[in-house]
Chain A
Amino acid sequence: MTEQEIFDKVAAILEDRFDIDKSKVTNDLNFKNDLEADSIDIVEFVIELEDTFGAEIPDEEAEKIKTVGDAVSYIQEHMPKK
């Protein structure tokens, strides 16, 4: 999966969860500051990332994911290779 494909899927998840238009999602978008996500939102989002991409995201790593860009690069590095 290319970086763009991962980005598109992440943007679709965010659109569904946070009422934000896909076209407004950028790599710099910060979950807490821009989307006002609280801890429950973030855990739900991380679980959906795991389900969508088949990658395990340990809690310590999940805590470091603060922006869309962080999520996309984490997934790209850790997605199971087919």
Chain B
Amino acid sequence: MKIAIDAMGGDNAPEAIVKGVLAARDAFSDMEFILYGDQAQIKPLVSNIERIEIQHTDEVIAGDDEPVRSVRRKKQASMVLAAQAVKDHHADAFFSCGNTGAVLACGIFVIGRIKGIERPGLMPTLPTVATDDGFNLIDAGANASSKPNHLYQYAKMGIYYAQDVRKIKQPRVGLLNNGTEYDKGDDLHKEAYQLLKDDPDINFIGNVEATNILEGPADVVVSDGFTGNAVLKTIEGTAGALMKVIKHSLLNSGMLSKLGAAMSKSAFAAVKDKFDTSKYGGAVLLGVAAPVVKSHGASDDRAVYYALTQIHDMVNKQTVQHVIDYFSKEKNS
């Protein structure tokens, strides 16, 4: 399998990207990579060129570029060229740590939607408190407005991913809502609830609330993109703020607290590890014609490596093909 890499996307590009790619190349003998970006910066980082191809380009999409416009205009940008390679079947999957909106635009407009999918959804894997399994949240913000059928399709796609990549036989699906009772929410969520409930192939557990999704009531949490994005950012923001407050009060509450903090160091490391989501890989844009994975802008080489492992699984298990097959059958039935 060949993976097209936007080597210039993210805060630590190209160093972290290239380092992560080299680690994945060494771990998987069936993986090849095309790196798009500034050859002068990339080449010195690649000591062994085995299964690595560098395609030079000067153009990049910046973090603050307007997504759709920049993807349409900067046709030579590293991100756009990587997406174009997937569209032209020169590569099997796409990876970037760059501008999220531009990655979505590359996925939707360059690589293209799967026929029958109305709206692709962005799906990260988030941590769960009790186990190391994590859960998937779809849509985490690819679409600002949604229809009931979009949510239903997110569930279907999320299930294929959970089965193929996370190896869960019958993923439990929950609908993110403002209460657990069946009649909660606005019209969108009430209609989505019925669609999910009426499909015997979906292991639907009903509505779930943001207060306890980290406890893992569902393997796939379905949401409209607006709410999903707000929830994702609230989780990230709260976790970060809480760590800051704890650190501040431990360091400013006298000698005993400091001593206690030093003694609890391993416990704090475990907490940090729990909320380190990079081991789950990046966020997948499901509903487009090939695996498109976007990792955090601040990703280090480890995060890049894990995202490539995730892509390796998706390509091997043919997750996207499963979605294509299902929705082409659906359209013809």
Contact = CB atoms under 8 A, between A and B. Distances in A.
Contacts of A59: 69, 72
What does DSSP make chain A's interface, helix, strand, loop or mixed? helix
A40 interface: yes
B226 interface: no
Contacts of A35: none
A43 B145 contact: no
Interface string B47-75: 00000000000000000000011001000
B108 interface: yes
A40 B72 contact: no
Interface string A20-41: 0000000000000000001010
Interface string B110-154: 000100000100000000000000000000000101000000000
B327 interface: no
The CB with the most chain A CB atoms within 10 A, among B72, B109, B145, is that of B72
Nearest to A59: B69
B109 A38 contact: no
A44 B113 CA distance: 9
Contacts of A47: 72, 109
5 contacts: A40-B108, A40-B143, A43-B72, A44-B113, A47-B109
Contact of A44 (B69, B109, B143, B145): B109
A2 to B, nearest CB: 28
B86 to A, nearest CB: 16
Nearest to A40: B108
Interface residues of A, number: 6
4 shortest interchain CB distances as A-B pairs: A47-B109, A59-B69, A43-B68, A43-B109
B28 to A, nearest CB: 34
Interface string B93-116: 000000000000000110001000
A59 B113 CA distance: 21
Nearest to A16: B115
Q: Which of A38, A40, A47 has the most CB of B within 10 A?
A: A40
B37 to A, nearest CB: 24
Interface in B225-250: none
Contact of A38 (B68, B69, B72, B145): B145
A43 B112 CA distance: 12
Contacts of B109: 43-44, 47
B72 A44 contact: no
Contacts of B69: 59
A51 B143 CA distance: 25
Contacts of B68: 43
B95 to A, nearest CB: 22
A43 B109 CA distance: 8
Nearest to A57: B72
